Chain A
Amino acid sequence: MDFAFGLMMFIVGFATLAGIASVSTLGLNVSWGITGLFNIGIAGFYAVGAYTSAILTAQPSVPSNPHLGGFELPIPVGWAGAMVFSAIVAWFVGKVCLRLRADYLAIATIGIAEIIRITFRNWSDIAGGSYGIHRIPRPFESLGQPWEELGFLALVLLVVAVVYWIIERGINSPWGRVMRAIRENELAAEAAGKDVERMRLQAFVFGAALMGLAGALSAHYAKAFLPEDTEPLTATFLIWVMLIAGGSGNNRGAIVGAFLVWGLWTMSEFITDFLSTEWATRASYIRVFLIGFLLQVVLQVFPKGLIPERPPVLRPERKPGTLDHTVD
């Protein structure tokens, strides 16, 4: 019974974290998968979202660990604030950087993400410096185990479902078609009269808002947020591996990739528990190595990911006078 309960709690915790990663991966799918914007500054927007929500909702700081905030606002306000503030930051970043192409955009976004991370880590008046922000509330906290955890999981899955639905609607709308057109051939999209610059900015800001939301979710789940939580290894690279493995451009692929890669990541940690302490510390590097190797294998063997992007269903408009069966 105890074992079954422990297993269930483990699965609930796993699904919660994988769900949070899915939100980030879906955000990356909007910016890279659909629109082709090479954003590797996920950790920066993730940090902005997490710190914003933490500052808005946390209890007043204690003198030993001062930080801005202690507003104790309701959690939904924190999450909304996280999205809005990440979006605002992304709007400024996008405004200046989005005219850069491919590799240049990548270098610029990772540079800005690092500036954001360094600022949070050192700005103790605002973000608690290296101590981070503690005493962040978690929804359903009063329900106690296991309902607290189950409630949070349900909330995360609900967020994933809503985000999935919104992006799916977007992809299958004229908006999504323009985004893909920009990804495939920007000049042609521009020639067709689309405001490419504005559309790229929209995708970038929307994607970043989702990354910020993921940051906020993780801060409330852990009830604390430290500068180490914004390490690019987990906050950026793992998300990229998830999207590429799952199938970039496909929302279902993004979610499947998030659960699968998070599963491999967690499972390898599980295995290390059985090793002697000396090998256990080393084994944690083996799993980073394996994640890097997995990325190579996926790129070379399944370049489109496990669930490749489906071409949109085209319903050609009937021209007057043509017969039904002539439509392919």
Chain B
Amino acid sequence: MAIEFFNDYLLSALILGSIYALGAIGISMIYAILRFAHFAHGDALSIGAYVALPLVALGVHPVLTIPIAMAVTAVLAIGIDRAFYKPFRKSQPIIMVIASFGVALMIRAAIQLFGGVDDHYYWGIQPPMEALEPFAIAAKHFYIFGSVIALIGATHYLLAYTRTGKAMRAMSDDADLARITGIGTEKIVIWTWIVGAALAAAAGVLLGMDTRIRPDMGWNLLLPMFAAAILGGLGRPYGAIAGGLVIGAMEELSTLVIPGDYKSAVAFAVMVLVLIIRPQGIFKGRVL
């Protein structure tokens, strides 16, 4: 029973939760620092997954493609920010939300144009490792969890021990106060895009390693990632990680009581409930 629970629910809940967590960190920071809900964040995930695709085809191990996917996606994100978000920095934040909507459409269409609509895979179905019977753990699970731990460790190091990371946290805590202390806004904005987009790209590659790569993979994850960011408290990167794990667990465990077709509705319902009951999230993020 316990083993079945682990194989059928806990393992997938942890994977899904860590992918949400990586995406939600960016959403949370972008919301706090740039003050808008970034609707194209899911598509940053897709970019990451598709950047890795040709590299994997060349024979590079999917785990090793993660840094490259992160770098390419971060550069693209900075470019997109320059072209489509920067002109609106002084106007109402809602205009940026609408612009990010348009960016999401453009990214998805570009991926469909160049990558086609068919599903892609980094590797075939991986059978569970015999040595670990009766647990249904495949090699990919080690790669995924190893990468997640490394990425979250690196994020923690950046946010807790580097000047840039501290400045980012200060800025997401209180932008005006941060500016008075002499933190350069534009520089932090660029770093926010780098960190947010890079983590999203990594999440995309990990999702591709776990399941498959398709153009709408990121878009389908956008709302659960919002749910995770809101649940954790916007502007709280550590909250976003916790929120991601909670939302992932809720979605997977909900299939114990309701039909699996309604799984994704659970994440949305949790998100709406959190917005209504406790918009500041569990970790007391900001409410704009």
Contact = CB atoms under 8 A, between A and B. Distances in A.
Contacts of B106: 288-289, 292-293, 296
B271 A107 contact: yes
Given A241-B102, A285-B112, 12 more contacts: A100-B276, A102-B93, A103-B94, A103-B288, A104-B279, A240-B98, A282-B113, A289-B105, A292-B102, A293-B106, A295-B99, A299-B88
B113 A286 contact: yes
A110 B268 CA distance: 9
B36 A103 contact: yes
Contacts of A293: 102, 106
B259 A122 contact: yes
A interface, over-half SS: helix
Interface string B86-116: 0110010111011101111110111011000
Given A101-B288, A118-B265, A295 B102 contact: yes
Contacts of A101: 288
A106 interface: yes
A189 interface: no
A289 B275 contact: no
A106 B37 contact: yes
A106 B97 contact: yes
B223 interface: yes
A102 B94 contact: yes
A289 B110 CA distance: 7
B109 to A, nearest CB: 4
Contact of A115 (B102, B109, B259, B269): B269
B272 interface: yes
B20 interface: no
Interface string B263-288: 01100110110011001000000001
Contacts of A154: none
B238 interface: no
Nearest to A101: B288
Query: Quick one: which of A100, A103, A122, A303 has the most chain B CB within 10 A?
Result: A103
Contacts of B226: 107, 111
A114 interface: yes
Interface in A69-115: 96-97, 99-104, 106-108, 110-112, 114-115
Given A115-B268, A240-B98, A300-B87, A107 B109 contact: no
15 contacts: A38-B97, A40-B101, A102-B93, A107-B223, A114-B223, A115-B265, A115-B268, A241-B102, A288-B106, A288-B112, A292-B109, A295-B105, A296-B102, A299-B95, A299-B98
B89 to A, nearest CB: 13
B145 interface: no
Interface of B: 31, 36-37, 83-84, 87-88, 91, 93-95, 97-99, 101-106, 108-110, 112-113, 117, 223, 226-227, 230, 259, 261-262, 264-265, 268-269, 271-272, 275-276, 279, 288
B223 A288 contact: no
Contacts of A295: 98-99, 101-102, 105
B264 A114 contact: yes
A38 B268 contact: no
A237 interface: yes
Contacts of B288: 101-103
Would you list the 4 A-B pairs with minimal beta carbon distance, nearest first? A292-B105, A295-B102, A292-B106, A289-B109
Contact of B37 (A103, A114, A240, A300): A103
A38 to B, nearest CB: 6
